[in-house]
Amino acid sequence: MHQKDKDTIPGHEPPARKPMSMASKAGVFTLSRAVTILTQLLAGVVLAHVLTKEANAVVSYLVLTLYATALAFGQLGLPDSVFFFFEKMPPANRKAFTLLLVKILGALALVAGGVLLVVGWVGAAKEGYGELRTLIWAMMAMLLLELPTTPVPNVLIALDRAKTAAWFNVFTGVAQFMAMTIPLLLPDPVKAIPIGLLIYSGLRFAVSASIFQKLFKKEPLAILPEGTMREVLRYSVPLSLAQIFWILNKQVDKQVVQWLLPSTVFAVYQSGAIELPIIPTIAYTVSAVMMTQLVGHHLRGERQALLGLWYKSVQKVSVIVLPLVMIFLVAAEEFIALLLPADYADAVIPFRIYTFILLQRVASYSNMQKALGSTAPITHAAILLFAINALLSVPLVLWLGMAGPPVAALIANSFSWWYALRNIQQLLKIRFSEVFPFRFYLKALGVAALAAVPILLLKTTVDLPRYWGFFILVVSYLPVYLALALATGIIVKSDWNRLLRRS
């Protein structure tokens, strides 16, 4: 009997595919997001080296400020609703639910395009940004193609397709990098980059449609229960408001610098005023792949299991994130010198201050609140975060120059961290000391800081080469940190052995 025949008769069914463990999902998805983020970071580096500061200011403001704001505004929190409702509703409704999200996001893209046009038209009034009015139309068309595809990674993860989600992220990151760098070979790259990004969004839309077809081709289109849309909006609208204020919070400092300081200063500030994106992505992706388990524990009333999973994720992320943050705090000058031209050296000022904010990025606090079904406090926190940042940015930029807005962001984010933990504490009805593994976190932070002392001494006593200094400091830091982490029990031998087996 042929193998094919065996697979079709009772007793000879092919073995079910072994599902990936949560750790494997987190690793695969985090790696893919790292590739995506690194390509985006590299694109910005290439632009800084090739374009003049004036041209770089126009492109950065259009793509990283205006378009990013419109994209966040248009999502209405809908992509984040996938995890909660896929776990809650019957599998037969998932195709219809996904299509509903896509249709709504397509309509919202029109609204977001209008916002992009209005804000961009006003921003073009500032000296040095006149070209915005001829470039913004391509970005509006890009919204129509990209916004409906934003739920794709979440849908794939919710359906236990973490590897496909990872490949989708890699594809979008590489395609976006090519869209922003290939036009640099053309005579007028500033005008060509938006066209390149429009082509990228078309490819993303086509790939997303193909993924949807393969995921749901065997499933009939069910009719969603009455009131589904109302329930989704009740869950997602607070998230959308939070998302809008989060993105506004990230852009308010750039708007202040763009209006109060020259365009050449804005180009330098824009290059350094970032929370190094790969670091918060680690916590976000770990949280994303365990969202269904968190939601399940919550719906079944399993508070201790939920807390145990939350603690474990924070601890595992802390031993990765905290040493990374410490490296970039100490080696900030060397990192900026490695990436940017010499006349961008002042970018280290906002970069180092923003890096301090990353010390709290060891968990996705909003995802924990979403898993608990509480989205309104996320919005309240985002509004407070934006308000504090906006109120402090203008006086601080007038007082401290380009260092002022990052200081405002640091103050605002510190308050937001406390506010999120307090809300989680109230939802779980536990003491504040139990809402977060504070003892482990402080121990891990102390180990990461202690390991930085030798490289700080090395940096201050040895004249390091411009393009190799950062790597020398990293290579010097990691063995010291690993030795201290193993000696203090921050990293246990089983974790280390597991890592070596996967390498």
Q: Each residue of 335-381: pLDDT tens digit?
A: 988 888 888 888 899 999 999 999 988 888 887 888 887 777 888 88
The position carrying tokens 């709290």 is 360
In whole angstroms, give the CA distance from residue 171 to residue 187. Answer: 27
pLDDT tens track for 207-234: 999 999 898 888 787 787 777 777 877 7
Distance CA 341, CA 344 (A): 6
Q: What is the pLDDT of residue 128?
A: 65
pLDDT at 254: 75
Contact 352, 329 (CB under 8 A): yes
pLDDT of residue 179: 92
Average pLDDT over residues 57-62: 77
Share of the chain above pLDDT 70, in %: 87
Instruction: Please tell me which residue, 498 or 80, carries the higher pLDDT value.
Output: 80
The confidence band for 503, taking pLDDT boundaries of 50, 70 and 90, is very low
Q: Does the pLDDT value for residue 30 go beyond 80?
A: no
What would the pLDDT profile of 418-457 be if each residue is shown by its tens digit? 998 998 888 888 888 888 999 999 999 999 999 999 988 9
- The H or E element spanning position 3 is helix 3-6
Cβ 442 vs Cβ 359: under 8 Å: no
Q: Where are the domains of the chain?
A: 22-225, 255-503
pLDDT attached to residue 16 = 44
pLDDT category of residue 479 using cuts at 50, 70 and 90 = very high
pLDDT band at 37 (very low <50, low <70, confident <90, very high): low
pLDDT value at 1 more than 60: no
Q: Please give the residue that has the higher pLDDT: either 403 or 330.
A: 330
- Residue with more model confidence, 77 or 420: 420
Query: How far is it, in rounded angstroms, from Cα 279 to Cα 318?
Result: 11
Q: How confident is the model at residue 253 (pLDDT cuts 50, 70, 90)?
A: confident
Name the pLDDT band for 202 (thresholds 50, 70, 90): very high
Q: How confident is the model at residue 326 (pLDDT cuts 50, 70, 90)?
A: very high
Taking residues 14-33, report their average pLDDT.
51
Reduced to 3 states, what is the DSSP secondary structure of residue 477?
A: helix
65 or 48: which carries more pLDDT confidence?
48
Of the segments 2-16, 49-63, 65-79, 418-432, which one has the largest average pLDDT value? 418-432
From the list 332, 142, 364, the residue with the least C-alpha distance to 246 is: 364
The answer on pLDDT for 15 being more than 80 is: no
How far is the C-alpha of 279 from the C-alpha of 159, rounded, in Å?
Answer: 26
Tell me the pLDDT tens digit for each residue of 267-284. Answer: 788 777 777 767 777 777
pLDDT digits (tens, 9 = 90+) for 102-143: 888 998 899 888 888 887 777 676 666 677 777 888 888 999
Is residue 459 over pLDDT 60? yes
Q: Could you read off the pLDDT of 132-158 as tens digits, one per residue?
A: 777 888 888 999 999 999 888 888 877
CA distance 196 to 178: 8
pLDDT value of position 378: 81
What pLDDT shows up at residue 8?
40
Provide DSSP, 329-392.
Answer: HHTHHHHHHHHS-GGGGGGHHHHHHHHHHGGG-SS-HHHHHHHTT--HHHHHHHHHHHHHHHHH
